[in-house]
């Protein structure tokens, strides 16, 4: 009797599983991502975020009733491998829409394939300007490009700080130089005078000589493009020299992560930084996603994670709105997108030489009592900005 009931239970359970599987159609989506190699860290963050989004979507009935199954394919951060992965996804698996990849170079390779095969491709993180400047019809990009990275910061300067002069310090690498060049252009466009533009070798111990020079020039804004350790050293030595500018600003990277505050301590107070996204921004779902990610993986996700998480929701939105899952119908649906995601508003526009590009306000964060707070644009702010900032002498 016992044995019999055991078998019955077994059959019952098995039946449950199979019926569950059969009843629900499955939508398999392949995503190229660098899961090994130097970009693996970012690939990992994105993978986890896609998975969080997948579970949420499946819990609410999937996409058009189909259960979503994501299949991650390791592109090792190499464009040629991304290319062949996507060729297989389109030619063999007949996937109706492509999305994913991390680096600009890989995204560019995928974009070329997608355009050639006439399959819509959503760029999630690649930020090089020219991806959406090639008049590609089937390539859409949800993240702001490099050139628009500082738009939020510039509007904060224009409306709140109103500076006349700026000093720019940057690391002598690709990242530092391009960031500084962009800022020079933006500053000149905004009518600011660049008083000092100095590069430094990464790993420098003592910034006081160039900082003294900055001090002598008395700029309104000090803008720095650095990685985290240099960022902390710079602010510490600025405090040490009591350089009183109206605003201290960092170009994301080193200034936007919690380690900056841990290392620079009170010297990091009221420092402002441009960023694409932050865990406490007031976009719907952003905080919930960030907290969920933190609970699962102990750290807050970077903006790459938020981009990936929102990308799957965007894909769901597009696929549900499309008349059919033929390329051109999906493309039309992409074009008509106007949605709010955890990463921010998404809407694809053709302007200023870009095609199918999402233009959104980037954010500005400020370190307020030892924490990064979103302060700009005002409607997405988590706290009101602190400005003017007190002189070093008057601080505790």
In the complex, the residues that contact another protein under the rule CB under 8 A are: 172, 198-201, 203-210, 212-213, 215-216, 228-229, 232-233, 235-237, 239-242, 262-267
Task: State which residue, 6 or 370, has the beta carbon closest to another protein.
Answer: 370
| Burial readout 22-40 (b: 16 or more C-beta within 10 A, e: otherwise) | eeeeebebbbbbbbeeebb
Smallest distance, another protein to C-beta of residue 235, A: 8
Helix (H, G, I), strand (E, B) or coil at 9: helix
Which uninterrupted H or E stretch holds 169?
strand 165-171
Task: State which residue, 129 or 198, has the beta carbon closest to another protein.
Answer: 198
Do you know the residue count of the chain? 396
Smallest distance, another protein to C-beta of residue 103, A: 19
Smallest distance, another protein to C-beta of residue 238, A: 9
Task: State which residue, 240 or 291, has the beta carbon closest to another protein.
Answer: 240
Task: State which residue, 195 or 364, has the beta carbon closest to another protein.
Answer: 195
What is the SS3 assignment for 189-238?
Answer: HCCCEEEEEEEECCCCCCCHHHHHHHHHHCCCEEEEECCHHHHHHHHHHH
Smallest distance, another protein to C-beta of residue 207, A: 7
Smallest distance, another protein to C-beta of residue 216, A: 5
Smallest distance, another protein to C-beta of residue 248, A: 13
Task: State which residue, 108 or 239, has the beta carbon closest to another protein.
Answer: 239
Smallest distance, another protein to C-beta of residue 171, A: 9
Task: State which residue, 128 or 173, has the beta carbon closest to another protein.
Answer: 173
Task: State which residue, 100 or 179, has the beta carbon closest to another protein.
Answer: 179
Task: State which residue, 59 or 205, has the beta carbon closest to another protein.
Answer: 205
**Residues 6 or more apart from 162 whose CB is under 8 A from it?**
none
- Token pair 């707070």 is at which residue? 373
DSSP code for 359 = -
Smallest distance, another protein to C-beta of residue 252, A: 17
Distance CA(301)–CA(310), nearest Å, equals: 13
- Token pair 């690391």 is at which residue? 171
Tokens of 182: 């962009």
Q: What angle do CA 42, 317, 19 make, to 5 degrees?
A: 90
Distance CA(155)–CA(148), nearest Å, equals: 12
């Amino acid at each position: 009797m016992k044995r019999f009931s055991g078998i019955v239970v077994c059959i019952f359970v098995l039946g449950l599983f199979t019926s569950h599987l059969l009843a629900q159609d499955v939508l398999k989506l392949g995503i190229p991502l660098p899961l090994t190699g130097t970009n693996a860290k970012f690939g990992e963050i994105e993978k986890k975020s896609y998975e969080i989004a997948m579970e949420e979507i499946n819990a609410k009935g999937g996409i058009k009733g189909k259960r979503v199954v994501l299949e991650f394919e390791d592109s090792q951060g190499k464009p040629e491998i991304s290319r062949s992965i996507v060729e297989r996804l389109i030619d063999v698996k007949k996937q109706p829409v492509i999305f994913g990849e991390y680096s600009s170079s890989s995204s560019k390779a995928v974009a070329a394939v997608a355009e050639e095969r006439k399959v819509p491709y959503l760029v999630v993180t690649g930020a090089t300007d020219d991806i959406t400047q090639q008049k590609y019809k089937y390539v859409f990009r949800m993240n702001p490009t490099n050139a628009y990275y500082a738009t939020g910061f510039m509007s904060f300067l224009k409306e709140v700080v109103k500076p006349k002069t700026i000093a720019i310090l940057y690391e002598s690498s690709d990242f530092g130089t391009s960031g500084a060049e962009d800022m020079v252009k933006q500053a000149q466009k905004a009518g600011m005078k660049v008083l000092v533009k100095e590069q430094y070798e990464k790993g420098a111990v003592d910034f006081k000589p160039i900082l003294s020079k900055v001090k002598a020039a008395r700029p309104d804004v000090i803008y720095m493009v650095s990685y985290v350790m240099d960022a902390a050293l710079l602010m510490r030595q600025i405090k040490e020299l009591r350089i009183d500018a109206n605003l201290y600003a960092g170009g994301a990277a080193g200034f936007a992560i919690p380690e900056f505050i841990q290392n620079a301590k009170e010297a990091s107070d009221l420092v402002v930084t441009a960023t694409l996204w932050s865990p406490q921004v007031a976009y719907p779902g952003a905080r919930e996603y960030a907290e969920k990610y933190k609970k699962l993986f102990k750290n807050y996700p970077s903006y790459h994670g938020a981009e990936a998480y929102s990308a799957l929701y965007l894909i769901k939105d597009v696929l549900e709105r499309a008349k059919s899952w033929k390329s051109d119908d999906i493309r039309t649906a992409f074009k008509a997108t106007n949605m709010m995601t955890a990463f921010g508003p998404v809407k694809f526009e053709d302007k200023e030489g870009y095609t199918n590009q999402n233009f959104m306000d980037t954010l500005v964060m400020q370190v307020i009592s030892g924490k990064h707070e979103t302060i700009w644009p005002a409607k997405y702010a988590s706290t009101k900005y602190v400005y003017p900032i007190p002189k070093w002498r008057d601080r505790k």
